[in-house]
A = this chain, B = another copy of it.
Amino acid sequence: MLYSEMNRDMLLNEKNQLEERYNTFKAKNLKLDMSRGKPGKEQLDLSNGINEIKDFVYNGTDLRNYGILDGIESCKKLFAELLDVETKNVIIGPNESLTLMFDYVSQCYSHGAGDTPWSKLDEIKFLCPVPGYDRHFTICEYFGIKMINVPMTPNGPDMDAVEELVKDESVKGMMCIPKYSNPQGITFSDETVKRIAALKPAAKDFRIIWDNAYCVHDLSDDGEKLLNIFDILPEYGNEDMVVEFCSTSKITFPGAGISAVIASDANIASIKKRLNAQTISYDKMNQHRHAQFFGNADGVKAHMKKHAEILKPKFDIVLKHLKNELSGTGTAEWIEPKGGYFISLDVMHGCAKRVGELCKEAGVTLTTVGATYPYGIDPNDSNIRIAPSYPPVDELDTAAELLCICVRLACGERLLG
């Protein structure tokens, strides 16, 4: 029954029952963590074979030594195959793509993406589809970039809003996760990708950080397909507008993987110019470990099926509880993602923070409520990001049930005033 249709007595009765269940959980002194998109131990074990690679000569080059600024050919080829681009448009980066994204923004800040370094301008704004990834927001905040919320729709960012906002010349960029977005797991529709590729921003140096973090992270065989934006950009003369990033953080080892940036010839040239001052090379031994371990793109895809086998039951158990406990109550909405790392829960407005508190009191840590919005401010106090990957299934079973109780309890409290 919809909570909104309950009278005061019914709500009080509901609240009492929920408090009883809540206290039973609380008495267990739980310590469960659903806060970050960390792979579980079982997933990490899938990649242990990487540490068996011990021959570091590749094409006659000793990879233990200096050199090869933009990454070894075998690794470039691997990412080029996965993302359907040419190897000349790939640079292999450090242990994670976040650093590459930060560094690209830093490059635009000190040297610009066009004629003027962003540091020389009075105001820089970025569009941030919301809810979104907190670490994107942190990068913007660090560089003093003003963030403008753009609502996500089931097809990606609200493109009417984006098309309107880019008419402002101080809007210099957008950060987004086009496939299995963090936290909603939404893949941008073909139309969205096309409209993004066709944007005519007032700023000639407008840049889209295309964070393809979950490019091969399907939860089952019917994964979603993302249009390759680099195929479309040339039609609009927008080749330089999009810079794509990805990594193996959630393929092999988070923090000890390899990353890649994919960009137009001109952008690759400007990044290489910076690289030339910045490094002698990234870690080619780790690049080689990865290339040898996978062999090719099919190797990666086969590997990702093993991840899915571990992850799918974890997502399912959370979704089962959401359905059993919250369907028909009007207290929350969510999308069943076909990939990625998160489930995004939108609870009754004004209740998310309280849900976080209740969970924490009972020993379940969620992603800080609000973190899915720029500056940590969810204007509706509604969004909760659930990260089911790390806890074992039995713990997740407990944590998800408790979360649902907390959602209902918080909403009940709110309606009771």
B-chain residues with CB within 8 Å of residue A282 when the two chains form the complex: 94-95, 255
Chain A 55-76 per-residue mask, 1 if CB under 8 angstroms from chain B, else 0 = 0000000111111000000000
A24 CB–B CB distance under 8 Å:
no
Q: How far is the CB of A257 from chain B (nearest CB, A)?
A: 9
A277 B138 Cβ-Cβ under 8 A: yes
A274 to B99 alpha-carbon distance, docked (Å): 11
Counting every copy of the chain, the complex holds: 2
B-contact bits for A346-359, CB 8 A (1 contact / 0 none): 00000000000000
CA distance A54 to B109 in the complex (A): 40
Within 8 Å CB of A256, what residues of B?
63-64, 283-286
Asked whether, in the complex, the Cβ of A66 is within 8 Å of the Cβ of B110, the reply is no
Which of the 9-residue segments A36-44, A146-154, A217-225 touches chain B? A36-44
- CB of A393 within 8 A of chain B? no
Give bound CA distance, A48 to B285, whole Å. Answer: 12
Question: Other than the known A44-B62, A63-B256, A64-B254, what 11 A-B pairs have Cβ atoms closer than 8 Å?
Answer: A36-B66, A39-B65, A48-B54, A51-B51, A51-B54, A64-B256, A94-B282, A95-B281, A110-B143, A142-B277, A255-B280
Alpha-carbon separation in the docked complex, A44 to B285 (Å): 12
The reply to whether the CB of A189 lies closer than 8 angstroms to some CB of chain B is: no
Q: Is A141's CB within 8 Å of the partner chain B? A: yes
Residues of B within 8 A of A273 (CB): 142
Max chain B C-beta neighbours (<10 A), residue from A117, A142, A256: A256
CA distance A253 to B66 in the complex (A): 8
A271 within 8 A of B: no
**Closest chain B CB from A265 CB (angstroms):** 21
Give the docked Cα–Cα distance between A273 and B255 (Å): 18
Q: Are A278 and B110 in contact (CB under 8 A)?
A: no
Report if A240 contacts B (CB, 8 A).
no
A278 and B66 contacting across the interface, CB-CB below 8 Å = no
A25 at the interface (CB under 8 A from B): no
Tell me whether A327 is interfacial, beta carbon within 8 Å. no
Tell me whether A98 is interfacial, beta carbon within 8 Å: yes
Q: In the assembled complex, which residues on chain B have CB atoms less than 8 Å from the CB atom of A255?
A: 64-67, 280-285
Does A120 make an interface contact (CB < 8 A)? yes
* Contact (Cβ within 8 A) A277 B102: yes
- Shortest C-beta distance, A274 to chain B (Å), equals 7
